[in-house]
Amino acid sequence: MAQNVYVLFKGALKLGVPFLDGYKGDPHYVIVADDQSGGEFEIVTNVKSDSTLAGAAGYNVLYSWNQYFDHPMVADLAKLPAGLAQSGFPKLDYVHDPRLVDLTTMRPITLDTAAEHNDINALVNDMLQLDMSAAPVEFVYTGKSGQDKRRGWQPSKPVTVYGFGFLFEPEHDGLHETHMNQGNPKPQPGSHARDHSSENGTFQDGAVMVEVDGRFQALFVAFQTQLVPTDNRGWPIPGTSHPILR
């Protein structure tokens, strides 16, 4: 089970900040929304894996983009007030809620930091309705590698964004882990693979959803190293679980 706080943030989209050539730190797309105090709240989503799978394609994340998301939770999300919710919101589970996402539809997607064509940057830009023809807005992103000057674009129309994930600690001014948070295997002794098994749990998966013109869209992200199905603790089942891509 992940140790920090699983939350939902709902707010008006302010900027979409793709991960481009020359940026420092972990490869995250940053979604900037207005918070209720006049500040900004950051929702970050992975655009590349830290995978140890062989070859460049092993670093591609898996995605499923539902452009007509009609899960029963949509009505509850629409009724929620804007801002940060730590309780009273729908919890996501990619594995144990079969209505949420069809894992067999997930596919690897590249990160093209130079051209942003047919990659995950372009997908999120499109989902967020960004006006890429406009001049970019300067944005300073603070990550593990310090402050990084980036470029963001504003939406062409009103967009309400919903981010599911875990709060930044200790600032609580953003959230991350907007991906599947279960099915991470324990690395074998001596392996150089990063151990994400402490993040395993049920009904704590991340995602990014948007509401545009009354219609919901949802972006689900997972990693090629994650295994399904999982048990009631979110752990892979020995002898049964397999990669999402088979």
DSSP per residue over 160-215, as a string? EEEEEEEE-TTT-SEEE--S--S-PPPPPTT--S---GGG--SS---EEEEEETTE
CB distance 239 to 111 below 8 Å: no
CB distance 41 to 11 below 8 Å: yes
Can you give the pLDDT at residue 179?
Answer: 97
- How far the first Cα of the chain sits from its last, in Å, is 26
Q: Does position 55 have pLDDT exceeding 80, yes or no?
A: no
Residue 217: both structure tokens together: 């869209």
Q: Does position 46 have pLDDT exceeding 80, yes or no?
A: yes
Can you give the pLDDT at residue 25?
Answer: 82
- The mean pLDDT of 78-95, rounded to a whole number, is 96
Q: Does position 1 have pLDDT exceeding 50, yes or no?
A: no
Q: Does position 156 have pLDDT exceeding 90, yes or no?
A: yes
Can you give the pLDDT at residue 54?
Answer: 63
215-222 and 137-143 beta bridge pairing: unpaired
Q: In the predicted model, what is the mean pLDDT of the chain?
A: 92
Q: Does position 65 have pLDDT exceeding 70, yes or no?
A: yes
CB distance 148 to 24 below 8 Å: yes
CB distance 179 to 222 below 8 Å: yes
Secondary structure (3-state) at 127 = helix
Can you give the pLDDT at residue 3?
Answer: 57
Query: What span, in angstroms and rounded, lies between the C-alpha atoms of 244 and 229?
Result: 9
Higher pLDDT, 142 or 65: 65
pLDDT band at residue 142 under the 50/70/90 scheme: confident
- The mean pLDDT of 118-128, rounded to a whole number, is 94
Q: Does position 101 have pLDDT exceeding 90, yes or no?
A: yes
What is the CB neighbour count within 10 angstroms for residue 179?
A: 25
Could you give the count of Cα atoms lying within 13 Å of 49 in the half-sphere of its Cβ? 27
Q: Find how far residue 92's CA is from the centre of its chain.
A: 12
- The mean pLDDT of 10-27, rounded to a whole number, is 93
Q: CA separation (Å) from 56 to 50, 51, 244?
A: 11, 10, 18
Q: Lowest mean pLDDT of 44-48, 49-53, 92-96, 166-170, name the range.
A: 49-53
Q: Of 50, 41, 102, nearest to 71 (Cα)?
A: 102
Q: Lowest mean pLDDT of 27-31, 158-162, 171-175, name the range.
A: 171-175
Query: What span, in angstroms and rounded, lies between the C-alpha atoms of 148 and 48?
Result: 18
pLDDT band at residue 26 under the 50/70/90 scheme: confident
Can you give the pLDDT at residue 84?
Answer: 96
Q: Which residues contact 21 (CB under 8 A, 6 or more apart)?
A: 113, 114
What pLDDT, in 10s, does the model give residues 197-206?
999 999 999 9
